[in-house]
Chains A and B, each alone.
Chain A
């Protein structure tokens, strides 16, 4: 505690193993997430390669099921969530003028659980009976009565991932509530901090629910309980209720930080303050609140009473209102701004367009009678990839380009960045737009083979997926190239329209920042 707290990081591997520094931990989260993104992407490539043509050519159906299960789990829990937790770790203390996260040692624990959890999850591929094969939503009884032995490992890896998420979320809540610099009132916080505060609340509320769901599975499989067996008086549909009570807030856990990122970046490149800051805060809170009341819209075809169908349909449609407020505010922020189109801005504009498409298909799916047609079809796959990939991943990519100069003190290659954007944008749309048509025409999701009339769109989709995958390799290359050989930047502000405390710090940000809190006016 003393002088060497002021020094830079320790040397060697132990810097990362033993660190309590929010920037180190944020960095590890983001690299881990990128590794998982590549791994989950590789699984997706296997899926798309198999679906390039009808018939079975590359993998057998059992392995195909394992791939789509692991693709979903790795992407949601290993790539997207840790990416934003890492970003929160790195940026929130710098945005609110705090010296570090509130509970730094626990912060490191939250991170280091993840590599272990995913090693355990992916190791199931090499176990007898293969890895989990029941889809990332692991519906009972597929995941109980008919599950491979590796399901037990899957259950425990979900348990410890959940612990990691809960601790990470508690840390963020404590940081935001307790560590704001003097004068940084709640309604002066950057939107990214706001969205993360609300996301952290959602995490603490629903990760225990997921833990409950997998615990019930464990008990049903090994200890003779009958939560999900009608034979004992339980109900497989109970699993779906419990899972989606977690699962729906979960999708907002994924997307709210993305909203936050976009709300930071657009004002910078439109050179105007965010339009409707207050309404943005309230819209975020409303979305979070509503997210607890809509879970059964994932289950319209399960045979709910009509009153349930109607309630969940209307509650879901209601979410379009605060979401619309957000999109309106972003667009209005850009209206008559002095816009420039650097890579982060391109990704944000791409985000707004594509996320809005994903939002509209969401409204289509929310309408119960129509959903009877779309349910379990490729339309659903298209919908959630528009919000997860073009939503969360595009915004995370924007965040990387936006803050990379602040982190590394070097500027990325703008041409390469823009090239990556256009490849990603075209590849993404080529991969997922045709899936809307496939779904509407009746192609079911989660199958390794399909009827001949779906061939053309599937081929396009597979080509698009490989182009999109290539764009991610380019992202990795661009980031590493920046770190190794980027042009140095020394301007604290990096972008001339940037606002916020993190831009008052030197570039690159020193190892310890704001050990004395700044005064916020």
Chain B
């Protein structure tokens, strides 16, 4: 850089003008406008204009292209030596606080699960001073997992004050802990084993990279990515089972709601995390990382550990307790 520098100070790299940001904003806008149009015209609730699907597809394509180009630019800059230690610290902070925001996002859904199970459920079945709700949902008994919704307890939609709320039919079976005897035929247990191992394998890979053992690093990273996608596949099997054999759906009342929203958002994050790690694996094949400089991998592995910790919470509060 042709900047005047005081001795001992490395200039902070401020990138040139860039089209990335405005294109990313455009891609995001097209995606969400498309998604809203598409959802409105397809959910059967409102009839609305068509074309949403196309807009959504184009938006996502633009967005992915921009992200690809953006990460590419950052990687090129880093490899060209433009990133001083201070610039790298900015990236580290960015990733850390991004993960914190994700933690808060999951916290909302865990918090809602807590509120529903500890407070709302008992109140709906008449506990405390909430006598009014007993009048509304007489005959409703709260249990968790919720197998019979308040709506069913009072005889279905016909007896319901607000029929346009929706129809909520409880599941026939749930996915809660089946007891120690049948535990080994219980998919969530295996999913837990897989995800916890993957956190371990990525840790081993990280250590191998720091020791500059390339072969070991790629092997363990490959195993991690594989475990990640196996987890996703098993979750898909679980969802299939739930929908087709358990009668457990998004519309199965609050149990199905919290079950699918928590595991679903977690699953999406596993897909994102596994994709991040996969990209890092491909980058290794191109020889991108050194034992000292491998923040791309490190960030992805932090994300992976985060996804793993969320799963531990899920396993505990959604499946076992």
Contact = CB atoms under 8 A, between A and B. Distances in A.
A226 B166 contact: yes
A314 interface: no
B22 A112 contact: yes
Interface string A31-46: 0000000000000000
Contacts of B128: 305
Given A2-B1, A232-B151, A109 B25 contact: yes
> Which of B1, B104, B124 gathers most chain A CB within 10 Å?
B104
Contacts of B6: 516
B85 to A, nearest CB: 10
A479 to B, nearest CB: 25
A226 B257 contact: yes
Interface in A205-245: 205-209, 211-213, 216, 218-227, 229-235, 237-238, 241-242, 245
Contacts of B61: none
**4 closest A-B pairs (Cβ-Cβ)?**
A212-B108, A224-B251, A232-B168, A233-B254
Contacts of A102: 90, 93-94
30 contacts: A2-B1, A20-B21, A104-B14, A104-B15, A106-B21, A109-B20, A112-B21, A116-B25, A149-B48, A152-B46, A156-B33, A169-B97, A170-B98, A171-B94, A204-B104, A208-B105, A222-B39, A223-B251, A226-B166, A226-B251, A227-B257, A229-B166, A230-B150, A233-B255, A234-B253, A238-B116, A242-B112, A245-B108, A303-B130, A305-B128
A515 B45 CA distance: 56
Interface string A105-147: 1111101110011011000000011000000000001000100
Nearest to B19: A18
Given A225-B261, A226-B253, A235-B119, 10 more contacts: A5-B1, A100-B14, A102-B90, A108-B22, A155-B36, A208-B101, A223-B43, A232-B253, A305-B128, A516-B6
Interface string A188-211: 000000000000000011111101
Contacts of B181: none
Contact of B21 (A109, A128, A229): A109
Interface of A: 1-3, 5-6, 10, 14-15, 17-20, 98-100, 102-109, 111-113, 116-117, 119-120, 128-129, 141, 145, 149, 152-153, 155-157, 159-160, 163, 166, 169-171, 173-175, 177-179, 204-209, 211-213, 216, 218-227, 229-235, 237-238, 241-242, 245, 303, 305, 512, 515-517
A120 B168 contact: no
A298 B109 CA distance: 21
B12 A99 contact: yes
A219 B104 CA distance: 19
B296 interface: no
Given A227-B257, A233-B168, A105 B29 contact: no
A178 B90 contact: yes
Contacts of A117: 29
A5 B101 CA distance: 34
Contacts of A241: 111, 115
Nearest to A519: B6
Nearest to B140: A233
Contacts of B150: 230-233
Q: How large is the interface on B (under 10, 10 to 19, 20 to 34, 35 or more residues)?
A: 35 or more
B146 interface: yes
Interface string B70-110: 10000000000010001001110110011011101101110
Nearest to A203: B101
Contacts of A17: 19, 22
Contacts of A1: 1-2, 13, 16, 82
A226 B124 CA distance: 14
A171 B123 CA distance: 43
Contacts of A235: 115-116, 119-120, 123-124
Interface in B1-38: 1-6, 9, 11-22, 24-26, 28-29, 32-33, 35-36
Contact of A2 (B2, B165, B250): B2
Contacts of B98: 166, 170
Contact of B4 (A106, A173, A223, A516): A516
Given A153-B36, A225-B250, A233 B121 contact: yes
Interface string B227-264: 00000000000000000000001110111110011000
Contacts of A99: 11-12, 14
B12 A177 contact: no
B131 to A, nearest CB: 11
Contacts, number: 272
Contacts of B29: 113, 116-117, 119-120, 160
Given A141-B165, A156-B32, A226-B149, A105 B20 contact: yes
Contacts of A225: 250-251, 256-257, 260-261
A170 B98 CA distance: 7
B298 to A, nearest CB: 16
Given A234-B254, A242-B111, A105 B33 contact: no
Contacts of A105: 15, 18, 20-21, 70
A222 B254 CA distance: 15
B137 A170 contact: no
B11 A238 contact: no
A98 B11 CA distance: 10
B136 interface: yes
Given A120-B29, A233-B121, A241-B115, A178 B105 contact: no
A234 B108 contact: no
Contacts of B21: 18, 20, 105-109, 111-112
B120 A153 contact: no
B285 to A, nearest CB: 27
B40 interface: yes
A177 B40 contact: no
Contacts of B93: 102, 170, 173-174, 177-178
A152 B42 CA distance: 12
A237 B25 CA distance: 34
Contacts of B91: 103
Contacts of B26: 116
A6 B86 CA distance: 21
Nearest to B132: A303
B158 interface: no
Nearest to B104: A208
